[in-house]
Every structure is written in structure tokens, then in C-alpha cells.
């Protein structure tokens, strides 16, 4: 293969950046799907809206990127709370209805975005300028920054889950749905909290993607699918599973197109998932 | 025959009559091609519901449509195969791939299965976009041949490339498919599927190989999805693998919405949903950007207020009237396993 | 050598040992009880015999065949039937249809006959229907044949569970709490039915029950579990006197006699 080391390392760092963005989606989805069983299929649209909010804050209001990003996360968390309260709580019993409602929501939000924002691509200001020396070759610095940001957010989530009362209740909920109630926290509060955190993470992911790549009203679909794939691959409700699976998928997306071409990149993840499911149907870290 | 059965037969006869007369009444090529698409949507929505019989559903139906469409088109274009053979081969291809994927996929349930179907579907579409040599890549396929001339008794030489002729051909194929699916649903096989949906643990305990039955169900449903895709390809005579096209995720979302809005518990549900919503989409064509919003809003409204779908409305009105007039109301019976 | 042999059966759930090195033999045509305080691992053992759970270690040998790793539907083919604790019924189906599902194994027709109803298919359907009605008669549910399973009162639902299990014409039935939640009359009815199964059809039964009076009256042999291990085994008479058993139950709300 006559691909230079430079290109390969770029593929790796691209893959890592992509992977960590997917991980942010997957962590949110694990909280929402895996723990609270809310069928929030419109999660990709939260990702997309988060990116657009940040775009407008930086472009029209000239806010610095970091501030805008944080506001974006808060804004999407609030949106998540609203959706949980108004829509998903009504449909708790019937998950097919919840999925259809989420699909309806996706259609509304996507087409709404097209109408309001238009179809042409925009971009959020870069995270960092210039090149970075990585493993002896040169790669764009912003990819590295994206990875760092994502890692920090993931660590923050980890700390939250391990040390706070609410966090521990969430972990207990994953293994045993009654666990949270035993800790004195009602399921509705838990659902609201999971949604808020999950949407904040999605918003962060969207912001990173919008900066590294570009924004479009349809940008949410692919990360949603990737996020869901990560959950299946890593194991439902497993956070370390989400991390590892996210890395694997990210690296596949980063490297396979370079090494084997886009056709293989298209079905690569599918083949990996099939392989894992055949050997271990619960996913890499799943329970029986 | 019971009163109910007679009513049903009249109902289907009326629908059949309307379907046959429609292009002649509407009398334009534009409408005929719209009707063709509606008929294909009916097949797709009904086959999607088949998967629901085992208690799962698929958001990847579009991927199998895609397989069927490409397989059929490529066979016609590159191998010069006759239309009927390509059509069947396309559907078979979709069914066989579903058979292969079914075994790993059916080991997971509920929302996780749905996720896998989406993954598979997007993978197929991406593959079609990127496998330049075979599928024409990003631009898709153009110039897919229409079916040719055929000698039909009583009618003489018929050119099925014409819009009206193709409509009737599609109608016949779809009608026959619906008949098959309906029969399967009512058979021992369908009964076993419903048992699996109720409780697969108990089904396994009485000796039912749950995995095998689920996979068979999935293959059959995807076979018909492939058939629908192939019919669509030969109708439009082009296929595009791009995200916004008929083979993108939007379509799969719409199909599920057709099924649930129409009514997932009955065979007629997706038929109703597909027809009504396709017409809604047709009439909102001038406001194209708002189309998805309208469909989305309808979906949410139905799900919140009419969970059993549009087909349950006449029954609800009937119950409301009979309780209002204080006759012995027929309690909303869930009925036995075999429902109309 | 027994009809059902369990050797060193063990199950770990993560860090928890649910069942540890269980050895058990059940003779053909016997009614055997499996008792113990809550959480002793009884249901886990039954699940491993029935095939809904795979053991971590050990073997299950049924009628000379090793079934340890077989999925539950294959065990049904070999003659093992279940009555589940949580009363798994096909709720949306009628009582008759529920039993008809149970006759799945006896239905020889395949996919093609599903599409076209030939005369032999019709004949077979008729035969199965008759057999289903016979089974319902045996458990005394004939008059409820066309009632929806979900509408039945609890006691009758248990009888329906039994009927479904009987439809598979099993050699061994695993009953998980068959009489829990029933009144005295229903309990007596169920017990005499289980005895009839053994006497008339030679069916072997393994029963988990908390209603110890019923167990003592019905079972020929009883195995007692506590914390996943066997602490005693013997006739009802022996078990009731056994100090280890009595101690295991003290401090729980079980009613020993």
C-alpha cells in the first residue's frame, strides 16, 4: 500500500476526533435509551440544533466560542427537559408510539432547520489554528483539541456518575430499574436529568463537528446512527463499552477509507457489528 | 359466511374497483405515475407491518428496497434479463440478504434491533454510493429499461412501458403480494409469529424455534420490500442513492409513519396509512419545504390521540354511537389472534 | 442412574453464586419437590433444567441425553415442559388457541401448506383442535375455550399454563410455584391433577413451591436448597424432622407445617 505515514496518522487523528464525537453522542444515548428507556430518536437533531445555536451566538452575537458552546449546551439541555416532559413522558408505555413520535419530531426539526437556516453549509469558528506535531508527523491542531474537549467532558460525566447522589442513582438504574427509587429519586426526575445531560453532550458533539467540519440541517442523522451502533456494539447501558466501541468505530471511519477505499468503509462498521453480535449478542461489555 | 366477512369482501371489492378505475377517471400521466407510487407504498407499508407480527419493527426497509432496486435494474441493464425475471431476482436478493442478516440481528430485541436495521440500511445505501464500478456510484443508475411488450390473451400486444400499462402491472403484482401476505398472516406460520410476539419464552418452551421463525418472517418481509424497490426503479427508470432520495432514511421514516398512522393492529391499517399520507404528501407538494413538518405533526398527533391509528376511527365512532343510544354495546374487544 | 441427572450444576451471576455444585437425581414417573427459602436458587435450577438459562458449570442429563447446552425449544422436543412462575400465557389469544400453540410440536405441516390449505392440512387442524379440547377437558377449562386468556382469574390461568405444557406431551414437567396464590379448593384440584398426570400418563414432575403443606402431601422426594447449595434430601417425613432444614427456615416467614 503506497500510503504515506503522514496520511495514515492524519487518518488516525481524524478517526480519533470522529470517534470521540460519536462517543459524546453514545454517552448521551446510553443515558437516554439505555438507562431511562426513552425513545429519543430525534437526538441527532439536538446535536444539529446545538451546532446551529452556537453558530448564531458566535456569528450574530460575536460571543467567544467557549461561552457560546456552554450556552449551547445549556440551551439544548433545556430543550431536552421540555421534550421529555411534554412528549416522551406521555408515551412511556408504548415504545413504538414513542419512536414514531420521535420520528415525527425529527421530521419537524429537520425541515424546520432547512426553512429557518437554509441549506447552504456554514461553519463554526475553528477550535485552534495551525498544525500539531503528533507522532513525528504533522496533523491539524483542531482535531487534537476536539479530542481533548471530548475527553474532558467524558471524564466530567464519569466523575458525576461516581461521586454524586444522582449519578450513582443513574448507575444503579442501569442494572436495576428500581435502584433509583431506593435512593429516593423518582423516575421522572431521573428521566429529566438523563435527558438534560444527554442533550448537553449532544450539543457539545454538534459544536465540535460544526467546527471541524461543517453545519447542515441533515448533519444529525449520521451521528445518531453511529451513536446507536456504538450502544449495540459496546453493550446496552455500559459506559466503558460506549467508549471502546466509539474508538473502534471512529478509527474504522478514519482509516478504512484511506486504506481500503470508500466502498469498504461503507459496510465496514456493519461487518464489525455482525461479527461481534454473532460471538457475543450482548455487545462487548453487555450483561446477559 | 358471517356478516362481517361479507362486509369485508364488499370493502375490498370497492377498493379494487377504485384502484382500477382511478387512472381512467383522473386521466393524466402525472396522476397515473402518482398512483403507481401510492400502490408501491402500500406494498412497502404492508410488508413493514409483517415484521410487526413478531413484535419487532424495522427502520431499514429502505435498505432492502435499495437492494431489490439495484439488483433488478442491473440485471435488466447489464445482463439484458427480461423484466419479470429481474423483478423476481431483485426481490429474492433482498430476501436472501435479510435471511443472512436475520440470524445475527434477531438475537437482539426491541430498539436495539431497530438500530441494527437502520445501520444495515444506511450501509447498503453507502455501498451503492461508493461502489462506482457496479452501481454507478454517486449518480446512481439512469435509463433503467421499462418492461417490454407482452402478448396478453384477450388484449393482444401490450406495451408495459406505457404509464397506464405499468400501473396495472404494478397493481396486479402488488395485489397478488398482498394476497400472499394476508394468507401467510392467517396461516399456522402467522399464528406462530403472533405467539412469539406474545411471549417468546413460552413459545420456546413449547418447542418453537423462535430464532428461525423470526428470521423467516424478516426475510419474507424484506423480499417484498425488495419487490417494491424493484417496481419503483423500473417505474421511475432512475435510481439515486443519495440521502434525500427515495432510498434515503426519510422514506423509511415515512413508511413507519404510514404503518402506525394507518393502524398497526390490522392488515388494512398500513394500506389506509399509505394511501392517505401519500395523498397528503401529493397535495402539499407546492409547499415542499413544509412537507416533512406536516407529516411529522400528523404522526405525533395520531400517536398521542389515536394510538390505534386511522382505521380504528370508524369503529370508535360506531362504539360511541351505540353506547350513546344505550343498546348493548360491543365492548372494544381485542378479539382473537386473527384480526381483519 | 436416574431419568434426570444433575451433576455439579453451578451458576454464577457476575460475582454472585446462585447455585453451587448441585447433584440431583430424579427417577422416572416420580413427583419431586424442590424447596428452600427465598433466594435459595430454586428457580435458577429449574431454568437450567428447562433451558432458559445456561449453567456456568456442570451437566444436565435427561433420559440419557446430555441437554446442558441445548436451547429450550430443543429440550421441548425431547420432552421437557415448563409451567412458569410468572404464568406466561399468550394473552391476546383465546384459551383454546393457547393450547393449540402448545401442540406446535405435533403439527407436521410446514411453510408451503401455510399458503394453500390442502385437505390434509385441514384434517390435521381438526385433529389438533380435538386434542386441544381433550387437554382442556383434562384440566377442567372446557367452558372457557373461547375466553381470552387475559380475562381468566388467576387460578384458571395456572390451569391453562398446565394445559399448554401438557399439549407438548412431555415426559418431564417443571412446575414453578403451581399453587401459589390459589385458594384451598384450587390447590387440591391442581394437586390431584398432578397426581393424575403421574398415574395415568407416567409424567415425571419437579415442583418448586412455597406452600409446604402442599409439597409434603404431594411429593415422594424433596430436595432442599439454601443459598444455592443442597442442604437436605429425602422423603417428606425425613425433611420435616431435619434440624438443618428447620434452621434454614427459621427467621423467614415460611410456614413449615
Contacts of A9 (CB under 8 A, 6+ apart): A134, A135, A137, A139
* Cα distance between residue B239 and residue B234, in whole Å: 9
Looking at the structure, tell me whether residues C4 and C17 fall in a common domain.
yes
* Cα distance between residue C63 and residue B337, in whole Å: 36
**Domain range for B153:** 3-324
* Cα distance between residue C108 and residue C213, in whole Å: 42
What CATH fold (topology level) applies to the domain A5-279?
Answer: ABC transporter involved in vitamin B12 uptake, BtuC (1.10.3470)
Report the pLDDT value the prediction gives residue B141, as an integer from 0 to 100: 77
For an interface test with B, the pick among A30, A109, A111 (most B C-beta atoms closer than 10 Å) comes out as: A111
Beta-strand relationship, C221-226 and C31-35 = parallel
What burial class does residue B282 get, using C-beta atoms within 10 Å of its C-beta: 0-12 exposed, 13-18 middle, 19+ buried? middle
CATH code of the domain in which B213 resides: 1.10.3470
B195–C90: do the CB atoms touch at under 8 Å? yes
Report the pLDDT value the prediction gives residue B65, as an integer from 0 to 100: 94
What burial class does residue C203 get, using C-beta atoms within 10 Å of its C-beta: 0-12 exposed, 13-18 middle, 19+ buried? buried
Specify the DSSP element, H or E, that contains A285.
none
Report the pLDDT value the prediction gives residue C217, as an integer from 0 to 100: 86
* Cα distance between residue B47 and residue B221, in whole Å: 5
**Any alpha helices (H) in chain A, and if so which ranges?**
5-29, 43-59, 65-83, 95-117, 141-163, 165-175, 179-182, 187-212, 221-234, 239-260, 262-279
* Cα distance between residue B196 and residue B213, in whole Å: 9
Nearest CA in chain B to C49: B205
pLDDT tens digits, residue range C100-114? 999 987 776 655 555
Given a contact cutoff of 8 angstroms between Cβ atoms, the answer to whether A8 and A254 are in contact is no
CA angle (A12 as vertex; A11, A15 as ends), nearest 5: 85
Query: How many inter-chain contacts (B to C, CB under 8 Å) are there?
Result: 99
Domain boundary among C118, C151, C168: C168
Given a contact cutoff of 8 angstroms between Cβ atoms, the answer to whether A196 and A213 are in contact is no
A119 — contact with chain B (CB < 8 Å)? no
User: Does B28 map to a domain?
Assistant: yes
B105–A277: do the CB atoms touch at under 8 Å? yes
Out of B120, B122, B297, closest to residue A108 by CB? B297
B57–A267: do the CB atoms touch at under 8 Å? no
Model confidence at C129: pLDDT above 60: yes
C92–B337: do the CB atoms touch at under 8 Å? yes
Given a contact cutoff of 8 angstroms between Cβ atoms, the answer to whether B111 and A39 are in contact is yes
A115 — contact with chain B (CB < 8 Å)? yes
User: Does C85 map to a domain?
Assistant: no
Out of A106, A225, A281, closest to residue B119 by CB? A225
Model confidence at B68: pLDDT above 90: yes
Contact residues on chain B for C92, CB-CB shorter than 8 A: 194, 198, 334, 336-337
C90–B202: do the CB atoms touch at under 8 Å? yes
Mean pLDDT, range B217-221, rounded to an integer? 95
* Cα distance between residue A264 and residue A274, in whole Å: 15
Out of B180, B207, B336, closest to residue C73 by CB? B207
B336–C76: do the CB atoms touch at under 8 Å? no
Model confidence at B334: pLDDT above 70: no
DSSP B140-202: -EE-PPPP-EEEETTTEEEETTSHHHHHHHHHHHHHHHHHHHHHHHHSHHHHHHHHHHH-HHH
Looking at the structure, tell me whether residues C51 and C123 fall in a common domain.
no
Model confidence at A113: pLDDT above 50: yes
Tell me the three cell numbers of residue A166: 444522582
User: Does B30 map to a domain?
Assistant: yes
Model confidence at A174: pLDDT above 80: no
Nearest CA in chain B to A101: B300
Give the SS3 label for residue C207: strand
B230 CA to chain A: closest CA distance, Å?
Answer: 22
* Cα distance between residue C64 and residue C53, in whole Å: 20
Contact residues on chain C for B209, CB-CB shorter than 8 A: 73
Contacts of C39 (CB under 8 A, 6+ apart): C227
* Cα distance between residue B311 and residue B15, in whole Å: 14
- DSSP secondary-structure letter at C143? G
B334 CA to chain C: closest CA distance, Å?
Answer: 7
Looking at the structure, tell me whether residues C95 and C55 fall in a common domain.
no
Contact residues on chain C for B184, CB-CB shorter than 8 A: 114-115
Mean pLDDT, range A175-196, rounded to an integer? 74
Tell me the three cell numbers of residue A124: 463554526
Looking at the structure, tell me whether residues C72 and C191 fall in a common domain.
yes
- For chain A, percent of residues with pLDDT exceeding 90: 19
**Who has greater pLDDT, B174 or A144?**
B174
Tell me the three cell numbers of residue B57: 419493527
Out of C88, C115, C165, closest to residue B180 by CB? C115
pLDDT tens digits, residue range B223-241? 999 999 999 998 888 888 8
Beta-strand relationship, C4-13 and C16-26 = antiparallel
Mean pLDDT, range B277-283, rounded to an integer? 91
Query: Which of A234, A201, A230, A202 minimizes the C-alpha distance to A43?
Result: A202
Contact residues on chain B for C84, CB-CB shorter than 8 A: 201-202, 205
B84 CA to chain A: closest CA distance, Å?
Answer: 30
**Who has greater pLDDT, B95 or A30?**
B95
Mean pLDDT, range A109-133, rounded to an integer? 79
Choose the weakest-confidence range: A259-268, B202-211, C141-150, C177-186.
A259-268
Looking at the structure, tell me whether residues C142 and C153 fall in a common domain.
yes
Nearest CA in chain A to B57: A96
- Neighbouring-strand partners of residue A215: A122
pLDDT, mean over chain A: 83
pLDDT tens digits, residue range B105-119? 888 877 778 888 988
Given a contact cutoff of 8 angstroms between Cβ atoms, the answer to whether C93 and C148 are in contact is yes
User: Does C239 map to a domain?
Assistant: yes
Report the pLDDT value the prediction gives residue B247, as an integer from 0 to 100: 80
- Neighbouring-strand partners of residue C230: C225
Report the pLDDT value the prediction gives residue A176, as an integer from 0 to 100: 65
pLDDT, mean over chain C: 87
Confidence of residue B156 (pLDDT cuts 50, 70, 90): low
Model confidence at B339: pLDDT above 60: no
Give the SS3 label for residue B38: helix
CATH code of the domain in which C57 resides: 3.40.50.300
Out of C51, C102, C107, closest to residue B188 by CB? C107
Model confidence at B158: pLDDT above 80: no
Report the pLDDT value the prediction gives residue B340, as an integer from 0 to 100: 33
Residues 19-48 of A with CB under 8 A from B: 33, 39
Given a contact cutoff of 8 angstroms between Cβ atoms, the answer to whether A21 and A208 are in contact is yes
B184 CA to chain A: closest CA distance, Å?
Answer: 24
Q: Please state whether B156 falls in left (phi above 0), alpha (psi between -120 and 50) or beta.
A: left
User: Does C30 map to a domain?
Assistant: yes
DSSP B236-296: HSEE--STTSTTSHHHHHHHHHHHHHH-TTSTHHHHHHHHHHHHHHHHTGGGGGGHHHHHH
Model confidence at B329: pLDDT above 50: no
Confidence of residue A72 (pLDDT cuts 50, 70, 90): very high
pLDDT tens digits, residue range C66-88? 999 999 999 999 999 999 988 88
Tell me the three cell numbers of residue B259: 404503518
Contact residues on chain C for B265, CB-CB shorter than 8 A: none
* Cα distance between residue B184 and residue A81, in whole Å: 44
Chain-centre distance for alpha carbon A194:
14
Query: Which of A97, A127, A111 minimizes the C-alpha distance to A17?
Result: A127
φ, ψ for residue C80 (rounded to 5)? -100, 125
ipTM reported for the complex, 2 dp: 0.87
User: Does C36 map to a domain?
Assistant: yes
Out of A100, A115, A263, closest to residue B127 by CB? A263
For an interface test with C, the pick among B206, B208, B332 (most C C-beta atoms closer than 10 Å) comes out as: B206
What burial class does residue B339 get, using C-beta atoms within 10 Å of its C-beta: 0-12 exposed, 13-18 middle, 19+ buried? middle
* Cα distance between residue B14 and residue C97, in whole Å: 33
A270 — contact with chain B (CB < 8 Å)? yes
- For chain B, percent of residues with pLDDT exceeding 90: 40
Choose the weakest-confidence range: A126-135, B71-80, C210-219.
A126-135
Choose the weakest-confidence range: A58-67, B309-318, C127-136, C200-209.
B309-318
Given a contact cutoff of 8 angstroms between Cβ atoms, the answer to whether A235 and A241 are in contact is yes
User: Does B332 map to a domain?
Assistant: no
Looking at the structure, tell me whether residues C132 and C245 fall in a common domain.
no
- DSSP secondary-structure letter at B139? G
User: Does B336 map to a domain?
Assistant: no
- DSSP secondary-structure letter at C94? B
Quote the crossing angle between the two packed helices A239-260 and A221-234, to the nearest 10°: 120
Nearest CA in chain A to B108: A281
Number of domains in chain B: 1
Q: What is the pTM of this model?
A: 0.86
b/e map A23-43, b = 16+ CB within 10 Å:
bbbbbbbbbbbbbbbbbbbbb
Report the pLDDT value the prediction gives residue B328, as an integer from 0 to 100: 47
Residues of chain C contacting B, Cβ within 8 Å: 50-52, 71-73, 76-77, 81-82, 84, 88-94, 97, 100-102, 104-105, 107, 109, 111, 113-115, 125, 148, 164-165, 167-168
A232–B123: do the CB atoms touch at under 8 Å? no
* Cα distance between residue A235 and residue A223, in whole Å: 18
Give the SS3 label for residue B235: helix
Give the SS3 label for residue B99: helix
User: Does B123 map to a domain?
Assistant: yes
User: Does C86 map to a domain?
Assistant: no
Beta-strand relationship, C65-66 and C57-62 = antiparallel
A91 — contact with chain B (CB < 8 Å)? yes
User: Does B206 map to a domain?
Assistant: yes
* Cα distance between residue B192 and residue C109, in whole Å: 12
Report the pLDDT value the prediction gives residue B153, as an integer from 0 to 100: 66
pLDDT tens digits, residue range B164-214? 888 888 999 999 999 999 989 988 889 999 999 999 899 999 999 999 999
Number of domains in chain C: 2
Choose the weakest-confidence range: A138-142, B219-223, C136-140.
A138-142
Quote the crossing angle between the two packed helices A43-59 and A187-212, to the nearest 10°: 60
Signed CA dihedral, A250, A159, A281, B65: sign only: negative
B291 CA to chain A: closest CA distance, Å?
Answer: 8
A72 vs A53, A63, A79, B65, CA distance in Å? 6, 11, 10, 39
Contact residues on chain B for C95, CB-CB shorter than 8 A: none
φ, ψ for residue C172 (rounded to 5)? -135, 130
Confidence of residue A152 (pLDDT cuts 50, 70, 90): very high
B168 CA to chain A: closest CA distance, Å?
Answer: 33
Beta-strand relationship, B156-159 and C221-226 = unpaired
Report the pLDDT value the prediction gives residue A15, as an integer from 0 to 100: 85
**Domain range for C37:** 1-79+170-257
**Who has greater pLDDT, B285 or B146?**
B285
Chains meeting B at 3+ CB pairs closer than 8 A? A, C
Looking at the structure, tell me whether residues C154 and C212 fall in a common domain.
no
Report the pLDDT value the prediction gives residue A180, as an integer from 0 to 100: 56
Residue B106's CB is within 10 A of a number of other CB atoms, namely 22
Model confidence at B78: pLDDT above 50: yes
C93 vs A284, B51, B284, B302, CA distance in Å? 38, 19, 42, 27
Nearest CA in chain C to B220: C111
- For chain A, percent of residues with pLDDT exceeding 70: 90
Amino acid at each position: 500500500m503506497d500510503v504515506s505515514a503522514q496520511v495514515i496518522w492524519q487518518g488516525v487523528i481524524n478517526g480519533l476526533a470522529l470517534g470521540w464525537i460519536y462517543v459524546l453522542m453514545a454517552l448521551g444515548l446510553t443515558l437516554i435509551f439505555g438507562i431511562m428507556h426513552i425513545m429519543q430518536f430525534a437526538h441527532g437533531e439536538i446535536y444539529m440544533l446545538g451546532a446551529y445555536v452556537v453558530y448564531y451566538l458566535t456569528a450574530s452575537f460575536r460571543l467567544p466560542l467557549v461561552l457560546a458552546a456552554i450556552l449551547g449546551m445549556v440551551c439544548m439541555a433545556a430543550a431536552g427537559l421540555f421534550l421529555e416532559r411534554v412528549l416522551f413522558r406521555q408515551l412511556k408505555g408504548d415504545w413504538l408510539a414513542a419512536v414514531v413520535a420521535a420520528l415525527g419530531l425529527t421530521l419537524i426539526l429537520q425541515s424546520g432547520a432547512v426553512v429557518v437556516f437554509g441549506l447552504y453549509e456554514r461553519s463554526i469558528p475553528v477550535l485552534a489554528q495551525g498544525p500539531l506535531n503528533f507522532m513525528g508527523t504533522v496533523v491539524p491542531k483542531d482535531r487534537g483539541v476536539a479530542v481533548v474537549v471530548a475527553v474532558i467532558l467524558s471524564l466530567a460525566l464519569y466523575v458525576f456518575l461516581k461521586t454524586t447522589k444522582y449519578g450513582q442513582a443513574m448507575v444503579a438504574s442501569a442494572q436495576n430499574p428500581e435502584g433509583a427509587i431506593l435512593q429516593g429519586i423518582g423516575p421522572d426526575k431521573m428521566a429529566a436529568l438523563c435527558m438534560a445531560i444527554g442533550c448537553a453532550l449532544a450539543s457539545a458533539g454538534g459544536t465540535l463537528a460544526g467546527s471541524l467540519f461543517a453545519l447542515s440541517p441533515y448533519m444529525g442523522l449520521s451521528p445518531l446512527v453511529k451513536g446507536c451502533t456504538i450502544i449495540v456494539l459496546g453493550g446496552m447501558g455500559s459506559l466503558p463499552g460506549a467508549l471502546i466501541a466509539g474508538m473502534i468505530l471512529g478509527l474504522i471511519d478514519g482509516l478504512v477509507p484511506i486504506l481500503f477505499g470508500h466502498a469498504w468503509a461503507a459496510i465496514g462498521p456493519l461487518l464489525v457489528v455482525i461479527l461481534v453480535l454473532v460471538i457475543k449478542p450482548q455487545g462487548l461489555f453487555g450483561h446477559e | 359466511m358471517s356478516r362481517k366477512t361479507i362486509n369485508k369482501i364488499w370493502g375490498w371489492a370497492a377498493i379494487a374497483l377504485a384502484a382500477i378505475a382511478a387512472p381512467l377517471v383522473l386521466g393524466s400521466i402525472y396522476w397515473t405515475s402518482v398512483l403507481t407510487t401510492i400502490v408501491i407504498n402500500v406494498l412497502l407499508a404492508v410488508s413493514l407491518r409483517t415484521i410487526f407480527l413478531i413484535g419487532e419493527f424495522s427502520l431499514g426497509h429502505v435498505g432492502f428496497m435499495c437492494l431489490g432496486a439495484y439488483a433488478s435494474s442491473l440485471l435488466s441493464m447489464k445482463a439484458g434479463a427480461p423484466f419479470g425475471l429481474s423483478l423476481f431476482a431483485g426481490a429474492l436478493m433482498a430476501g436472501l440478504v435479510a435471511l443472512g442478516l436475520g440470524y445475527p440481528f434477531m438475537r437482539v430485541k426491541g430498539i436495539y434491533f431497530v438500530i441494527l436495521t437502520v445501520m444495515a440500511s444506511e450501509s447498503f445505501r453507502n455501498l451503492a454510493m461508493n461502489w462506482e464500478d457496479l452501481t454507478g456510484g454517486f449518480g446512481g443508475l439512469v435509463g433503467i429499461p421499462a418492461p417490454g411488450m407482452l402478448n396478453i390473451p384477450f388484449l393482444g400486444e401490450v406495451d408495459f412501458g406505457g404509464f397506464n400499462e405499468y400501473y396495472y402491472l404494478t397493481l396486479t403484482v402488488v395485489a397478488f403480494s398482498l394476497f400472499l401476505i394476508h394468507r401467510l398472516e392467517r396461516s399456522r406460520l402467522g399464528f406462530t409469529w403472533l405467539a412469539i410476539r406474545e411471549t417468546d419464552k413460552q413459545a420456546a418452551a413449547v418447542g418453537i424455534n423462535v430464532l428461525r421463525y423470526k428470521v423467516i418472517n424478516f426475510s419474507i418481509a424484506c423480499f417484498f420490500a425488495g419487490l417494491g424497490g424493484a417496481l419503483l426503479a423500473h417505474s421511475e427508470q432512475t435510481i439515486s442513492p443519495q440521502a434525500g432520495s427515495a432510498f434515503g432514511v426519510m422514506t423509511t421514516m415515512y413508511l413507519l409513519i404510514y404503518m402506525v398512522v394507518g393502524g398497526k393492529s390490522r392488515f388494512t391499517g398500513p394500506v389506509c396509512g399509505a394511501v392517505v399520507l401519500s395523498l397528503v404528501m401529493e397535495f402539499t407538494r407546492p409547499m415542499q419545504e413544509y412537507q416533512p413538518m406536516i407529516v411529522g405533526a400528523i404522526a405525533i398527533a395520531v400517536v398521542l390521540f389515536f394510538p390505534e391509528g386511522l382505521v380504528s376511527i370508524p369503529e370508535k365512532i360506531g362504539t360511541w354511537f351505540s353506547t350513546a343510544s344505550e343498546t348493548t354495546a360491543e365492548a372494544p374487544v381485542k378479539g382473537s389472534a386473527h384480526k381483519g | 442412574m436416574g431419568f434426570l441427572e444433575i451433576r455439579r450444576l453451578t451458576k454464577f451471576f457476575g460475582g454472585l453464586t446462585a447455585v453451587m455444585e448441585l447433584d440431583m437425581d430424579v427417577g422416572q414417573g416420580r413427583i419431586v419437590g424442590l424447596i428452600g427459602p427465598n433466594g435459595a436458587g430454586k428457580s435458577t435450577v429449574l431454568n437450567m433444567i428447562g433451558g432458559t438459562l445456561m449453567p456456568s458449570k456442570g451437566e444436565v442429563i435427561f433420559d440419557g441425553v446430555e441437554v446442558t447446552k441445548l436451547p429450550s425449544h430443543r429440550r421441548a422436543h425431547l420432552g421437557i415442559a415448563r409451567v412458569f412462575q410468572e404464568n406466561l400465557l399468550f394473552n391476546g389469544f383465546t384459551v383454546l388457541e393457547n393450547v393449540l400453540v402448545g401442540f406446535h410440536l405435533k403439527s407436521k405441516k410446514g411453510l408451503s401448506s401455510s399458503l394453500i390449505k390442502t385437505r390434509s392440512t385441514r384434517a390435521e387442524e381438526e385433529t389438533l383442535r380435538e386434542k386441544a379440547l381433550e387437554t382442556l377437558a383434562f384440566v377442567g377449562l372446557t367452558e372457557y375455550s373461547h375466553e381470552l386468556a387475559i380475562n381468566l382469574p388467576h387460578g384458571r390461568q395456572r390451569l391453562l399454563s398446565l394445559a399448554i405444557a401438557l399439549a407438548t406431551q412431555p415426559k418431564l414437567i417443571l412446575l414453578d410455584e403451581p399453587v401459589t396464590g390459589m385458594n384451598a379448593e384450587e390447590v387440591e384440584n391442581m394437586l390431584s391433577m398432578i397426581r393424575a398426570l403421574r398415574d395415568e400418563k407416567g409424567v415425571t414432575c419437579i415442583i418448586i413451591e412455597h406452600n409446604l403443606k402442599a409439597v409434603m402431601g404431594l411429593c415422594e422426594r424433596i430436595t432442599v436448597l439454601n443459598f444455592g447449595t443442597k442442604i437436605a434430601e429425602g422423603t417428606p417425613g425425613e425433611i420435616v424432622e431435619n434440624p438443618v432444614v428447620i434452621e434454614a427456615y427459621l427467621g423467614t416467614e415460611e410456614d413449615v407445617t
